[in-house]
Amino acid sequence: MIFVPPPPSVQTMHPYILCTVEAVGVNDLTLSTWGVSTPIDNSESLTLSRFTIDASETIFLSNTSNSSNSKSSHAPRDLIILTHLHEPSILSALETRFYSSQIYTNTGPILIAVNPFQKIPNLYTPKVMEQYSTRGRMNAFGADDNNLVPLDPHPYAVADGAFRQMVKGVQRKKGRASATTFANANQSILISGESGAGKTETTKIVMSYLTSVGVDVVVDADVEPASSSSSSSSSSSSVVSRILLSNPLLESFGNAKTTRNDNSSRFGKFVELKFDSRGRVRGGEIKSYLLEKVRVARHCTGERNFHVFYQLLRGVGGQKSSSNLNSNSNFVKNLFESSKLTRFYDSENSSNVPNLLSLTGQGGAPLLVEFEDVKGFNSTVSAMRSMGWSEEEIQKVFNLVSGLIHLSEVEFKKVDMASGVEGAEVVDDDGGKWGGGLLLDAAELIGVREMGLRKSLLQKVMEARGEVITIQLNSEQARGARDALLKKIYDHLFSWVVSKVNESISVPAQDKPLIKSYIGVLDIFGFEAFAVNSFEQLCINYTNEALQQQFNAFVFKVSEASEASPQATGRRVTEECEATNPSPKPARAG
């Protein structure tokens, strides 16, 4: 027998010493090697168990009968049952579960997710969704969890719990449930964490479950006649598809690559899914807040601006010729010409335009693997059309995005004013980087007059004691005014996009009397600490911290109330009595 020491990562991952009887080195381990696992606290006890090694040479213990007992105590589904509840044991348990592809762990009512930054097979399939939905229905009908095979922690379980509590609340309002159920049917799910933790994807997972799960109990059959069931089901299915389509659309305008995440949400959102008494989604509403506008004018090396800028620049290449109209279903007629992007494309730089522009090139305009820009452009156009946007609206939105790209390229030069102060002028002739007429094109694309745009960049108007004062800006101040205008326009554009999404997913007027409750999903985007932090970033981090404190306070109150309940009190009394008066041991025969 030859003992092979495990990699250091395995030693910290699991309290076992691993060895093999078939190989002499880690590189020689086969995909299913039998080995010996020796508990550190009992070196005389040897048990035979199987472990595996993946392509990255990471060793995993399997769920055999010998290893599962140790795993259940060392890395349980719920951290509350850890023998020693402190930071080292918590981190060790999370690490063990993570390297076993179990990225979700409960800690009481909280679900902890560790981002694997890769797709885990068979974790979000319809079959898995049905398992959690079925378990939720069984629990709703009084099934005892202790008699059922436990399901692993999962966002589906959290979403299903919120859904069932909502149904109980509706029943309580109608007097068809016990007094122990919630009087308020509305539920909320808070998804928080630092940047790159996986909040955006988790939000989509939760929403996909809530929009697909149903309930067998009919609370208000008198409100909705059975004859309307078919048409209402079709209506519900239609609004569900639009709610799910809102994700890629909002990601295009509100997400960006950061150093931690290729698809990081740079805004917070609260999604309300509105349900009728049958548990069907009738509509929704999205409330956004704290868009990271500063990213429009400035972002760090290795990061990107909002996705839509790159989608337009790289996706518009396929829009150059009208011959593509019949071959590409996401073709936007005359977009390449109407967006006036021709000045940025020539035979030498057509494939590298994003790296050459101020708005998109500051961070190096890296290409994304999973969120490829051309595919993203096609998905964005498809989502716009599916949500009822007209071709004119689609073209105007992209033209406005192009207008911001043009405006960001406007340059200024120093001039001496007649009053003797330093002023600025727009470099608006062939001496500019991109030729003349840049400001005129920007004004037309944004939808304003060129003279008014020019004045807003070069002058500051103040009113004091009823007198209007015009102050000429120098070149540095003019660049600051340009950046401020870029951020303000984009903020209004994003708000308009959100309002259009809400128009598409809102509850129709005839269905509003059917709404009984809602489930809210709060996605707060991550904590950030840049090399240079703006006041806006301070506000964002402060809001995140305040929400986190509110969340912690709520969880502690729930735990405190649970411990003060009669059931918990009785349990503690029983435990104390047993400790004071232990049961006598039976006499040994013989």
What are the extents of the domains in the chain? 8-74, 533-574
Rounded Cα gap, residues 56 and 53, in angstroms: 8
Rounded Cα gap, residues 338 and 392, in angstroms: 11
Report the pLDDT value the prediction gives residue 307, as an integer from 0 to 100.
95
Compute the Cα dihedral for 28, 33, 39, 43 and give only its sign. negative
Rounded Cα gap, residues 558 and 561, in angstroms: 5
**Annotated active-site positions, please?**
195-196, 200, 261, 264-265, 526, 528
Report the pLDDT value the prediction gives residue 305, as an integer from 0 to 100.
94
Report the pLDDT value the prediction gives residue 73, as an integer from 0 to 100.
63
Closest by CA to 415, choosing from 428, 406, 425, 426, is 425
C-alpha gyration radius of the chain: 30
Report the pLDDT value the prediction gives residue 360, as an integer from 0 to 100.
92
Task: Output the CA torsion 397→400→406→409 (10° steps).
Answer: -100
> Mapping DSSP to helix (H, G, I), strand (E, B) and coil, where does residue 569 land?
helix
- Cβ burial 33-71 (10 Å sphere, 16+ → b, else e): bebbbbeeeeeeeeeebbbebeeeeebbbeeeeebeebb
Are 261 and 248 in contact, with CB atoms under 8 Å apart? Answer: no
Report the pLDDT value the prediction gives residue 552, as an integer from 0 to 100.
78
> Mapping DSSP to helix (H, G, I), strand (E, B) and coil, where does residue 319 land?
helix
Please write the tens of the pLDDT for every residue from 455-506.
999 999 888 888 888 889 999 999 999 999 999 999 999 999 999 999 999 9
Stated as kind and residue range, the H or E segment containing 248 is: helix 229-254
Report the pLDDT value the prediction gives residue 69, as an integer from 0 to 100.
41
Rounded Cα gap, residues 345 and 323, in angstroms: 19
Closest by CA to 379, choosing from 389, 371, 391, is 371
| Tokens, residue 142 | 């009084």
Task: For the chain, list residues with pLDDT below 70.
Answer: 1-73, 172-184, 214-236, 317-329, 346-351, 429-431, 525-527, 559, 562-590
- Biggest CA-to-CA distance, the chain: 118
What pTM was estimated for this model as a whole?
A: 0.78
Please, how many CA atoms are within 13 Å of residue 186, restricted to the half-sphere of its CB? Answer: 8
CB atoms within 10 A of CB 354: 23
Supply the DSSP symbol for 143: -
| Tokens, residue 36 | 């010996």
Compute the Cα dihedral for 145, 147, 148, 154 and give only its sign. positive
CB atoms within 10 A of CB 125: 10
Residue bearing tokens 């039998």: 34
